[in-house]
Amino acid sequence: MSATMIKEFRLPDLGEGLTESEILSWKVAVGDTVTLNQVIAEVETAKAVVELPSPFAGTVAALHEQAGSVVEVGKPIVSFEVDDAGASPSGASGSDAGASPGDAPSPAEGAAKREPNLVGYGAVVEKSGRPARRQRSFDAGATEREPVREPIPAVAPVPAVAPFSTVETTAPPAVASETAAEQERPRSTPPVRKLARDLGIDLELVKGTGPGGLITRSDVQDFASGSQAQVSAPEIAPAAASAVGVSTERETRTPIKGVRKFTAAAMVQSAFTAPHVTEFLTVDVTPTMELLTRLKASREFAGYKLTPLTIAAKAVLIALRRNPSLNSRWDDGAQEIVQFNYVNLGIAAATPRGLTVPNIKDADRMTLLELSTALSALTDTARSGKTSPADLTGGTISITNIGVFGIDAGTPILNPGEAAIVALGSVRKAPWVHNDELAVRQVMSLSLSFDHRLVDGEQGSKFLADLGAILSDPATVMTMI
């Protein structure tokens, strides 16, 4: 009979610098037998919903987090009972959770062993870039604590989230042995902190009744119901009660997380980093709409989805060849302008989870038929919430099709790391001078926002003029390629 051992699996970084993920659902239960790379959970990052494969073959020994929990990267989420001889067939991250916590390899050691042959866990981590954290004890009678170094995998630092409360309070007296770092936030467990975030409650106002002042789930629930007094609480007016998250009939609070949280941070970064300039052009797209009708009726495009977005996307790619400065990036650290010799075309997609901008890799090398297929697959995947993190990064220029909402023009904000974004307005019938006569034509407004550090007004104007020329007369492409 072969010996077995317990292997602990910690949440990996599922994207570029993501610091946490929410466990949407578990696909396994304690006691289930799993195989290598079998899907064990579905997690939501700030960018996408991802299926998490098992790094081991064995039996599920314990689930450390419940569905709905927001877990930081590097935290243990599940333990497996595996054969001692084949504990790490994949080389994926994990650590022993056997004899004692002191015997277990650190998360950093486990992360350093990761190999790219296990789907979704990235390349080998050379070293941890995050300082060791102190393990805290909640023993109320403890007067002296020995620091326990517990390094975790390298992740981007998590910015402090401002509490919802606008009421200043006094924190409870600190235990003499606690360091200043430990006093930065009340002591609680991740599920309790998540519950407080969901209810919009500042844990500074909650009195902990657990060991050593630990704030428990019931403490948060009692505070939300108003049955617990606040810590050093001054008089709070009804308006202030709503500010600390107590539900009222006049407002609804929604936790900022997932795609919404990521999109908000990206838009703020872009708006206050890149100097935006937006230009507008209205063009007669009747010839493009006529071309679209002919293509749909052709045998080559039978069964394919062709829309004005398809033609406009191809026109953007052609115009970029003549105006490459719009396909670039500002590298502030290196003090260089990076010119892309390829085009990863981003398409803004409105999904139930929020705005995402997946991109089509090497779109400039595609034929119109290939681009049509890629656009259909991209939008279907985005709306189903299954876009992979890889498809949400690496874009070089983007298109947002606001015309589907009946909007003519706008001032789109750049996707971070890109030099330009084009907004396509709705196609409308309008009076237009055509061949020196007034006629009813199909017109579209184009909006172009660009980073003025990278793109001069002349370059942006020429790109927009080329784009308008192609859409108003597709035959002009012959003079551009």
Over residues 180-229, the pLDDT tens digits come to: 444 445 677 877 887 887 777 888 888 888 877 888 888 887 877 665 65
Confidence at residue 158, expressed as pLDDT on a 0 to 100 scale = 38
Residue identified by tokens 């390629």 is 481
Residue identified by tokens 């949440």 is 11
What is the rounded (10 degree) CA torsion for 424, 429, 430, 432?
90
- Give Cα 239 distance to the centre of its chain: 33
SS (HEC) of the chain: CCCEEEEEEECCCCCCCCCEEEEEEECCCCCCEECCCCEEEEEECCCCEEEEECCCCEEEEEECCCCCCEEECCCEEEEEEEEHHHCCCCCCCCEECCCCHHHCCCHHHHHHCCCCCCCCCCCCCCCCCCCCEECCCCCCCCCCCCCCEECCCCCCCCCCCCCCCCCCCCCCCCCCCCCCHHHHCCCECHHHHHHHHHHCCCHHHCCCCCHHHCECHHHHHHHHHCCCCCCCCCCCCHHHHHHCCCCCCCCCCCCCCHHHHHHHHHHHHHHCCCCEEEEEEEEECHHHHHHHHHHHHCCCCCCCCCCHHHHHHHHHHHHHHHCHHHCEEEECCCCEEEECCCCCEEECEEECCEEECCEECCHHHCCHHHHHHHHHHHHHHHHCCCCCHHHHCCCCEEEECHHHHCCCCCCCCCCCCCCEEEEECCCEEEEEEECCEEEEEEEEEEEEEEECCCCCHHHHHHHHHHHHHHHHCHHHHHHCC
With a cut of 70, which residues of the chain have pLDDT below it?
1-2, 15-18, 46-47, 85-186, 225-249
Confidence at residue 122, expressed as pLDDT on a 0 to 100 scale = 40
**Distance set, CA 319 to CA 14, 400, 458, 480 (Å):** 35, 17, 14, 8
Contacts of 272 (CB under 8 A, 6+ apart): none
Cα–Cα distance measured from residue 130 to residue 341, given in angstroms and rounded to the nearest whole number? 35
Whether 452 is catalytic is yes
Confidence at residue 171, expressed as pLDDT on a 0 to 100 scale = 40
Cα–Cα distance measured from residue 355 to residue 357, given in angstroms and rounded to the nearest whole number? 7
Catalytic pick among 64, 276, 434, 452: 452
Cα–Cα distance measured from residue 404 to residue 424, given in angstroms and rounded to the nearest whole number? 9
Nearest to 459 by CA among 337, 342, 324: 324
Exposed/middle/buried for residue 147 (C-beta within 10 Å: 0-12, 13-18, 19+): exposed
Confidence at residue 448, expressed as pLDDT on a 0 to 100 scale = 97
Please, are residues 342 and 364 in contact by the beta-carbon 8 Å criterion?
yes
What is the rounded (10 degree) CA torsion for 379, 382, 384, 388?
130
Confidence at residue 3, expressed as pLDDT on a 0 to 100 scale = 79
Confidence at residue 194, expressed as pLDDT on a 0 to 100 scale = 76
Number of other residues whose CB lies within 10 A of the CB of residue 239: 9
- Give Cα 185 distance to the centre of its chain: 26
Please, are residues 213 and 187 in contact by the beta-carbon 8 Å criterion?
yes
pTM greater than the 0.85 cutoff? no
Tokens of 450: 């660009």
Cα–Cα distance measured from residue 1 to residue 266, given in angstroms and rounded to the nearest whole number? 54
